[in-house]
Amino acid sequence: MSTHAATAHAALSPESTTSSGATKALGIGAIGIGLTLIGLFVSGGKIVAFSWLVGLTFWTAIAIGMLMLVMIHHILDASWSVVLRRQFEHGLAAFPWLALLFAPLVIVSWTGSHDLIWKWMNPDYVLASGHTVGHDPLYVKKSAFLNLPMFTVMTALCFIVWIWLSARLRKASFTQDADGDLKWTFMNRKTAAFGLALGAITLTLASIYWVKSLDYHWFSTMFGVWFFANCVRGALSIGVLLLLWLYARGDLKGVLNTNHLHSVGMLVFAFTVFWAYITFSQYFLIWNANIPEETFWYNLREITKAGEPSQWKYVGMLLLFGHFLLPFLYLLSYKNKIVHSRIKPIVIWILLIILVDMIYNIAPAVKDYSTGEPKPFLSISLLWTVTSVIGVGGVFFWAYFKSFAMTKLIPIRDPRIKECLTHHE
Amino acid sequence: MSAKPYGLIATFDTTPSVYHAAEQVRDAGYKNWDCITPFPVHGLDKAMGVKRSNVPKFSLVGGILGFTTGMSLIFYTSYISYPLVVGGKPYFSPLFAFPVAYELTILFTAFATIGGMLFLNGLPMHYHPVLKSSKILSGMDDKFHIVIESSDPKFNLAQTKALLEKVGGKEIQELEA
């Protein structure tokens, strides 16, 4: 078993190839952002702003998932995940850049009539009922929470909390590589203890402000948890891809064993069921209570005003079968969790379907001016969503690669590293 | 002493010694044999050449049975036996049958898993020849044992004894049947 540790030591210094990886990622990100900017002239500000929101929410969700997983691993004193944790710590470097990329959405909300994305920011916005938002009782009751200054402060607060927690976790872990002092492990455990509570509150706030309030009439107590399920699932999927990539490159030869993949695969499976549980519960409660303030949200995503099924109905069905049933059945098998060529396609699929889930929750808020119907799923905005995801993703991985080159491949002086390298062996 | 012993028991002092001995017994081609350790040893199943357990198959069957039971239960009670309009909902919808089906899936899966595990282990087992040996006491405390049963097709008293000695086993004894 000691041979594992020996091979690990040989492969500790990240190669210089990652700096070219960083440049490449930034280049891809710039292309994505550039194409999205072209979209401004083709489809107008509103469509592109929503697509940008989807791309940003998708990658922020993955970064939040990484943050929560790192803290969960610390607070549970988990040993199996030490190698995986380092990859998440690199991913956390993306938060400041995500905040920067979010800034345009806040800035456009402060300019013009304020209702480009979140219509409740403009009290004079005329609703379909003929009232303005300012005279809408459902808005008035929520106005202490849903107003532009609060939105700005809360969004800033969320990013500050995430950046601060990430900086603490990263600093402690990276410093321990050099001095091996146990106090960093204890510091991370303390950070995790209050950080998990802060993280839960901020991710719920962010999901409510950014996504749920797009239809501010709507009520759902599940929404923050739904967001959390996607965050963690996305982070785990990216984590698996990074492990497989590092293994294929040779860095993790002798470090990554099948038991690591089995453990992380079981977590992906668990969060598949968790996502389904939350999403079903949300749908089921609304379906059962049958109150118009709640059901309209699903009606928008199922039928047109004439009662015909819309494209969104099939997107919803795709989520039911693709987000839950397919990964659920696939990941039941042990082999599918540990064989590299079998786990890889399913985590890529899960990442794609999480993106579809984000689109499903965000995009129908864009209504067609003439008919008042949501814009269909297959429209030009899907193209700008893809360019946004590529743009933000490029920046995300640029931050990852920059951090990757800064420190060791695995936390070599973590007190649990030996236990991790021989996980279940 | 009866003509044929139940098997041979060998004692080992450390975890690595029993681990490596198990690898050699496995490579010698024995099938009916077992290790006795005071605590679970990671990777010993691999060293013994034990395949992955068949319990998940029982779980899967239990899960499918539970799901269909839940769905049929709600379908029978609310659609066939006593149809009643509640809250303007249809007599039957998989939506409200789902929580019941979901819970029964979990329950039946748990039953099938526990039951399948006991069945495959041959538990409950009130008697085992190893219990007659005083070795079992140290096997539950601080020593490790390998038992090779005489029912193994490769079993040969002299050769098996030699093998156990070769792999480092001490105090090799015959177990009464």
What does the pLDDT look like over B113-149, one tens digit per residue?
999 999 998 888 888 888 887 778 887 888 888 888 8
Contacting residues of B for A290, CB less than 8 Å apart: 87-88
**CA B165 – CA B172 distance, rounded (Å):** 8
Q: How does residue A276 score in pLDDT terms, banded at 50, 70 and 90?
A: very high
Contact between chains at B87 and A288 (C-beta distance less than 8 A): yes
Q: How does residue A10 score in pLDDT terms, banded at 50, 70 and 90?
A: very low
- Whole-number pLDDT of residue A128: 77
Is pLDDT above 60 for A385? yes
Tell whether B60 lies on the interface with A, counting CB pairs under 8 A.
yes
Is pLDDT above 70 for A278? yes
CATH number assigned to the domain covering B7-52+127-175? 3.30.70
Is pLDDT above 70 for B1? no
**Nearest chain A residue to B89, by CA:** A288
Interface of B with A in 118-157 (CB under 8 A): none
Is pLDDT above 70 for A273? yes
Per-domain boundaries in chain B? 7-52+127-175, 55-121
Cβ contact A42:A380 at 8 Å: yes
- Whole-number pLDDT of residue A11: 45
More confident residue, A369 or B39: B39
**CA A138 – CA A294 distance, rounded (Å):** 12
Q: How many residues does chain A have?
A: 425
Is pLDDT above 80 for B3? no
Whether ipTM exceeds 0.85: no
Smallest CA–CA distance, residue B158 to chain A, in Å, is 33
Is pLDDT above 60 for A12? no
| CA atoms within a 13 Å half-sphere pointing along the CA-CB vector of A219 | 13
Tell whether B98 lies on the interface with A, counting CB pairs under 8 A.
yes
- Whole-number pLDDT of residue B49: 82
**Nearest chain A residue to B86, by CA:** A288
More confident residue, A126 or B59: B59
- Whole-number pLDDT of residue A53: 94
- Average pLDDT, whole number, for chain A? 88
Is pLDDT above 70 for A315? yes
Q: How does residue B25 score in pLDDT terms, banded at 50, 70 and 90?
A: confident
**CA A347 – CA A236 distance, rounded (Å):** 8
Q: How does residue A44 score in pLDDT terms, banded at 50, 70 and 90?
A: confident
More confident residue, B160 or A87: A87
Is pLDDT above 70 for A256? yes
Phi, psi for A79 (deg, rounded to 5): -100, -30
Q: Three-class SS of residue B131?
A: helix
Omega of the bond leading into A327 within 30 degrees of 0 (cis): no
- Pick from B42, B87, B99: which is nearest to A424 by CB? B42
Contact between chains at B88 and A332 (C-beta distance less than 8 A): no
Pick from A14-18, A272-276, A416-420, B90-94: least confident: A14-18
Q: Which of A288, A325, A334, A421 to mutate to test the interface with B (most CBs of B within 10 A)?
A: A288
Tokens read off for B21: 């001995």
More confident residue, A326 or B40: A326
- Whole-number pLDDT of residue B160: 80
Pick from A145-149, A238-242, B31-35, B172-176: least confident: B172-176
Greatest alpha-carbon span in chain A: 74
Is pLDDT above 70 for A2? no
Cβ contact A393:A78 at 8 Å: no
Q: How does residue A425 score in pLDDT terms, banded at 50, 70 and 90?
A: low
Pick from A46-55, A64-73, B42-51: least confident: B42-51
- Whole-number pLDDT of residue A3: 42
- Whole-number pLDDT of residue B76: 95
Smallest CA–CA distance, residue B91 to chain A, in Å, is 13
**CA A249 – CA A253 distance, rounded (Å):** 9
Is pLDDT above 60 for B11? yes
Percent of chain B whose pLDDT exceeds 70: 98
CA angle A19, A25, A28 (to 5 degrees): 145
**Nearest chain B residue to A280, by CA:** B95
- Whole-number pLDDT of residue B161: 78
pTM for the complete prediction?
0.88
CA A13 to chain centre: 29
Is pLDDT above 50 for A285? yes
Region A401-405: mean pLDDT is 89
Contact between chains at A290 and B60 (C-beta distance less than 8 A): no
